[in-house]
Structure 1
Amino acid sequence: MKKLEPGTEIDGFRVRECIHAGGMAHIYAVDYAQEGRSSGFPMAMKIPRMTVGDGAETIVSFEVELQILPVLSGPHVPRFVAAGDLSRLPYLVMEYVHGQTLQHWLDLPQRPDAETIARLGPAVAHAAHSLHQQNVCHLDLKPANVLIRDDDGSAVLLDFGLSCHAHYPDLLAEEMRLAVGSPAWIAPEQIVGVRGDPRSDIFAIGVMLYELATGELPFGAPTTSGGMRQRLWMTPAPPRKHRADIPAWLQEIILRCLEPEAAQRYPSAAHLAFDLANPGQVLITERGERLHGTPLRTHLRRWFRAAGMQYTPSPLPAQQIEDTPILMVAVPHADVSDATLYSLRQAVGRSLGIRPGARLACVTVISPSASSLTDSERSETTLHRQHMARLRQWAQGLDLAGHSVSYHVLEAGDVAHALVRYAASNHVSMMILGAATHGLQTQRFIATVPMRVARDAHCTVILVKQALPFAQLGQALDD
C-alpha cells in the first residue's frame, strides 16, 4: 500500500505526516478531523503493508495486535483509540508516546556505562512484568520495540503483532509452522514452537542488555534455522571478554537472562528488575566472574539434553508470577520485643517454605533525623551498616536455600508510606510485618503503621502477633 498524503481523512481521522515507514507497517501522526474534538493526547495510526510481496504473517500479525492491544492497560503500553475493518482498510489508532527507543542508545558512538544500563534495564523489566501480569507475552522485544519516555524514563512496549495472550487464540501458532520472531532476540524455546512463556521475554531483555553493554549481539544475527537453533545449547561469550570494565554484577544478570533453559533464568521480570535496581546485592556466581566462553564439553552435554528435551506448554504468565513471588518483611529496629522478631521469622520461614524460588526483601525504616547527627560514629554510613547488620543477623535463622535475599534500609518520616511505596515499586506480592511495628501503640482512633499498610498496600499483607510471651515460649522450648 502506498503512503497516504497529509490531509487524507479516514473514518473521522485526519492524517498528518508519516513518522515511520517500516518493513511491516507505515505509522502516521493523526488527529480527529472534527473541529473541537480531542483525545487529550497525541495519536498515531498504524497501517500494515499489504503488497504482493508481503507474506501472510503481515496480515496475521495485524490481527494479533488488533486482538491484544485493546485489552491491555497501564502506563507501559500505548492507549488504544480505534481500529479499521480488515475488509476495507486495516489500521490501528493509538496513543503516540514521546521518547527514544533503545536503539537510540545503541547508535551512540560510546557504549552506555553500567549506571545507564542499570537505569534502562529496570524500566524495560517493569514494563514486561506489567504485560505478564495481564497474561500477555510480547515475544518480539528488541531495541526498536522498547521506547523510553522523555518525561519520567519509564518504558513503553510497542508492536504486539507477534505477542501471545493466554486467554485468546494464538493465531500465529495456528497459521505458522516455523519459529516466529526476530532472529537476534528470539528465545530458544520459541525456536521449537513454545509460545507464551514470560521467560522468553526475559531472554530478549538479556540480549538487549548484552548489546547495550558490549555493542555486540550475543548470538549474532543468524539467517537460517540451524543458526538460530544453536542457542538451544550455546551460551555467548562473557560480556567482560568484550569490555573489561563491565562489572561482575552486570555480567551475572545478563548471562542469567541468556541461559538456554528457561528454568535457569529469572523466574519473572520483577526478579530481574530487582537485581538491576540493587546491583550491590547481586549474588555473584561463576557466571559473573567468567572471562572465557563455556567449554566445549558443556556445549556437547547441553546439545544432547536439548536433542531429547520434551517442551511442554507454559503456565499462565500471571500464575508463574504468583508461584515465584517477591516477599517483603518489615523488620522493626526500635521498641520491639524478641518475641515479635521471633514470630516474624517464623512467619517468613513458613511463607518461603511453600514458595520455592520466591525472593525475600528484608526492609527496615529509620527516621531521616537519625542519619543527620554529626557524631562520626553516628554518621549515615555507620547507621546504615548497623541496621544492615541487624537485618542480616535477624535473617540468620531462616532457611534461605533456593531463595534470593536482599537487605534494605529506608529513610522516611512516614514509615507506613515508605513501606507501601517500596512494595509497589518493587512488585512485592506479599508483605509481612508485626502487628505493633516500630512501637506505635494501637489506639482506637489512630491509624497505626500496620493498619495503614494493610489499608493502602496493593499486595497481600500479613500482620504477625506473637503467639506466646517470650518467657513462656523459652520455657516451652526448655521443656
Structure 2
Amino acid sequence: MSRTELAVGQEIDGFTLQERLCVGGMASIWAVSHLQHRQALVMKLPKLRGEDDPTAIVGFEVEQMILPRLRGPHVPQVFASGDFTEQPYLVMERIAGESLRARLDQLPLPVDEVVSLGARIADALHDLHRQHVIHLDLKPSNILFRDDGTAVLVDFGLAHHDRLPDLLDEEFRLPLGTAPYISPEQVLYERSEPRSDLFALGVTLYYLLTGERPFGFPGSQAGLRQRLWRDPLPPVCLRADCPPWLQEVILRCLAVDPAARFASAGELALILRNPEQLPLSALATKRSVDSRWQRLRRWFRAMGRETQPSGSAAAQLARAPIVMAAVDLTGGEDTLAEALRRSTALLMSVAGEARLACVSVLKTQRIGLDFNEDAQGRNLHVKRLAALKHWAAALSLPAERITFHVLAAPDPASALIEFATQNQVDHLILGARDSGILRRHLGSVSARVVAEAQCSVTVVRRPER
C-alpha cells in the first residue's frame, strides 16, 4: 500500500486529481476527472499516516462496504473504489449544493427554515433506515443539499448496516461519534438503534434554532456520560419565538430513552410538515432544566447502566410503519367507508407503534373557480375534516398515533400518490367503488394508486349485500 503525497494532476486508476476541496480528521476530498465520466466527481482518500487514529482506516473500510450498496437521491452515487493493497479511495458524484455547515455562520436561522431543513433531513434518514443503515454521525458537515433542496447524507465511516459485519463494534470498545451529537445509547456502545439518528437531528435542530449546542462540546468520556442524566435548557429560553410545538419536537428527539423519541424518522418528517397534528405535553411549555432531584434520580439509574439493544433499523421500522387510509367521504359511500374502517382497525391492531394518516381528497375543477362553501355556507375543507375525524373516532387511537389531512386537487389519484410518496408511507389502504362501464374505460382511482404508489396497497371493496 503506497502512501505518496497527493498533488494536483496526479492520476489514480485513471482519475486525475484536479483540486483538493477539503481535509477532514480522517480523509481528504478531491475534485477529480475521468475520460469515461462526464459528470462532476469527487474522490475521498483516507489518511494513512501511522500516527493517525486507527479508526480512520477501519471507518473507511466500513464506508467502502456500505455506501456502494445504497440507492436513491439521499446518498451520493458511487462510481469506483480502490482497496488497501494499492491506494484506497472512493469516487462518487459531486453534490452541487453546499453542506449545512455553511449556514452555521448565520445562526440562529428563521423558524420556518429550521422546520423545512428538519423535514428534509428526516426524509433522508427514513430512506436510509429503510435500507438497513443507521448513520451514527449525523451533523451539519455531513448533510448536503441538491439543487432542488433534497438532503443528501455523506460520510458513512461510523455507520451500522443491519446485514453486514460491524467492524467498528468488533475492533473498538469506545463511544464512536461526534461529541455534541452523540446519543446516550452510543455512549453505552450501542450501535444498532436507529433513533440515535433522531437524537443527532434533535441536536442539529436545537443548534440551528438557538445558535447553541444543547450539551456543549464535551471532551471526555465522563463528559459524554452526563448525557444519561442531564437535560438541555429548553429552546424557548434561548429563542423567545420558538413555537411550543417545535420545542416539543426538539426535546422529544433529545430524550435519554430512545422509546421516548419519535418512533421513526418518517413520523418526525410527517409531524414537521403537519405540526398542528402534534399533541403537546409539558415539554412544549417547559421553561427550565429539570430540578436537581430529577437529575439525581436519573444519575442513580445511569450508574452501571448498560443499554438494551433495540434489534435493528429494519426491526424498528417494522414496529413503527406509517399507514395511510384514503377515505372517500362523498355521498353514497357509507357502506364502503364502514368496510374501510373495519379493515383499518384490524391493520392498526397488529401494527405495533404504527402512525395512521387519515386522508380525504376534495376534488376541485381543473379549469375555473371552485366554491369554498356548501349551500349552507359551511367551509368545505372544515366540513370534510370534521367528517374525517368522525370516521376515525371509532378506531379509538391515541392522539399521538393519528393525523388528519384534507387535500384539494382535481385528480384524487395523483393527490393520494403524491402524499404517500412525500410522507414515505409504508402501507396505503383505500376503498374501491363498484365497477361500471365508464369506470372500467377511464380507470379508477384505486387502480391507479395500486399501479403507481411506491408502497404496499390494500384495496377494500364494498361487502356483498
Bin of the TM-score, shorter chain as denominator length: over 0.9
CA shift, 1:309, in A, is 4.3
Out of 83, 96, 99, the residue aligned to residue 81 of structure 2 is: 83
Deviations 1:182-205 (A, max 9, x none): 111001101111002110011100
Of 302-311 and 291-300, the range deviating more from structure 2: 302-311
Return the match for 2:149 from 144, 153, 157.
153
Residues 137, 164 of structure 1: 8 Å contact kept: yes
The Cα shift of 1:312 comes to 2.8
Q: In terms of mean alpha carbon deviation, does 334-343 or 140-149 score higher?
A: 334-343
Residue 51 of structure 1 and its aligned partner are, at CA, apart by 2.2
1:269 aligns with 2:271: no
Aligned match of 1:315: 311
- 2:412 is equivalent to residue 407 of structure 1: no
Residue 120 (structure 1) aligns with: 117
Displacement of 1:330: 1.0
The alignment covers a number of residue pairs equal to: 462
Corresponding residue of 1:238 = 234
Tell whether the 8 Å contact from 1:200 to 1:262 is kept in structure 2 after alignment: yes
Pairing 1:19–2:17 present: no
Deviation at 1:177, TM superposition (A): 1.0
1:213-362 correspondence runs (5 A): 213-307=209-303, 309-362=305-358
> Counterpart amino acid of 2:289?
G
**Counterpart position of 1:194:** 190
2:384 maps to what in 1? Answer: 387
Change (3 A) 1:441 1:137: farther
Match of 1:52 in 2: 50
Distance 2:91 2:372 in 1: 61
Q: Distance in 2 between matches of 1:214 and 1:380?
A: 44
Q: Which residue of 1 aligns with 2:199?
A: 203
**Which amino acid counterpart does residue 429 of structure 2 have in structure 1?**
I
Residue of structure 1 equivalent to 2:393: 396
Alignment partner of 1:198: what SS?
coil
Contact conserved, 2:372 with 2:381, CA < 8 A, in 1?
no
Q: Deviations over 1:361-384 (max 9, x none)?
A: 111111223994467778999222
Distance change (3 Å), C-alpha of 1:82 and 1:369: same
Q: After superposition, give the CA deviation of every residue in 1:122-153 in whole Å (9 maximum; x if it has no partner).
A: 1111111111111111100001001122x210
Which one is further off, 127-136 or 79-88?
A: 79-88
Give, as a single letter, the amino acid of the residue that structure 2 aligns with 1:7. G
CA distance in 1, matches of 2:302, 2:311: 20
| Correspondence for 1:455 | 451
Unaligned runs of 5+ in 1: 470-479
Matches within 5 A, 1:165-176: 165-176=161-172
* Counterparts in 2 of 1:59 and 1:392: CA distance versus 1, 3 Å: same
CA offsets per residue over residues 230-284 of structure 1, 9 Å max, x none?
Answer: 1112221110011110001111111111100011111111011111111222221
Match of 1:5 in 2: 7
1:31 maps to: 33
What CA distance in whole angstroms lies between the structure 1 residues aligned with 2:104 and 2:377? 38
Distance 1:465 1:442 in 2: 18
In the alignment, the residues of structure 2 paired with residue 246 and residue 326 of structure 1 have an alpha-carbon distance, to the nearest angstrom, of: 28
Shift of 1:463: 1.6
The runs of 4+ residues in structure 1 deviating greater than 6 Å are 375-381, 439-442
Are the structure 2 counterparts of residues 373 and 453 from structure 1 closer, same or farther at C-alpha, using a change threshold of 3 Å? closer
**1: CA distance between counterparts of 2:257 and 2:77?**
34
Maintained 8 Å contact 1:195/1:314? no
Alignment partner, residue 432 of structure 1? 429
1:402-427 alpha-carbon deviations (Å, 9 max, x no partner): 75211111111111121111111111
Cα separation, 2, equivalents of 1:342 and 1:310: 48
> What letter corresponds to residue 335 of structure 1 in structure 2?
G
C-alpha spacing 1:29/1:343, structure 2 compared with 1 (3 Å): same
Structure 1 residues 193, 442: closer, same or farther in 2, change over 3 A? farther
The 2-side partners of 1:131 and 1:354 are apart by 25
Contact 1:100/1:148 (<8 A) preserved: yes
Residue identity opposite 1:31 in structure 2: S
Alpha-carbon distance in structure 2 between the residues aligned to 1:428 and 1:307: 40
Task: Render the CA deviation track for 1:344-368: whole Å, top value 9, x for unaligned.
Answer: 2211111111123211111111122
Partner of 1:472: none
Corresponding letter in the other structure for 1:111: P
TM-score between both structures, scaled by the size of structure 1 = 0.91
CA RMSD of aligned residues (A): 2.2
1:206 & 1:306 partners in 2: Cα distance?
21
Structure-1 separation of matches of 2:444 and 2:370: 27
Worse overlay, 347-356 or 151-160 = 347-356
Cα drift, residue 52 of structure 1: 3.4
- Once structures 1 and 2 are overlaid, which stretch shifts more, 368-377 or 251-260? 368-377
One-letter code of the match for 2:104? L
In 1, the alpha carbon distance for the partners of 2:440 and 2:318 equals: 35
Amino acid of the structure 1 residue aligned with 2:150: S
More displaced, 325-334 or 290-299?
A: 290-299
Q: Distance in 2 between matches of 1:282 and 1:218?
A: 23
- TM-score (normalizing by structure 2): 0.94
Would the alpha carbon gap of residues 156 and 431 (structure 1) be closer, same or farther in structure 2, given more than 3 Å must change? same
Q: State the Cα deviation string for residues 65-93 of structure 1 (Å, max 9, x = none).
A: 11111111111111111112212212111
Distance between the aligned counterparts of 1:301 and 1:268, measured in 2? Answer: 28
Residue identity (%) = 43
Give the distance between the partners of 1:431 and 1:297, measured in 2 at CA: 46
1:380–1:124 distance in 2 versus 1, CA, 3 Å: farther
Q: Distance in 2 between matches of 1:342 and 1:169?
A: 48
Tell me, yes or no, if the aligned pair for 2:321 and 2:354 is still in contact at 8 Å.
yes
Gaps in structure 2 of 5+ consecutive residues: none
Corresponding residue for 1:106?
104
Secondary structure at 1:332 match in 2 = coil
Q: Deviations over 1:411-448 (max 9, x none)?
A: 111111211111111111111111219x9877444421
Instruction: Verify the 8 A CA contact 1:137 1:196 in the aligned structure 2.
Output: yes
Does 157-166 or 447-456 show the bigger shift? 447-456
- 1:3–1:26: 8 Å Cα contact kept in structure 2? no
Q: Aligned to 1:369, what secondary structure does the other structure show? A: coil
CA–CA separation in structure 1 for the residues paired with 2:294 and 2:373: 52
Distance 1:268 1:393 in 2: 27
TM-aligned CA distance change 1:244 to 1:414, over 3 Å: same
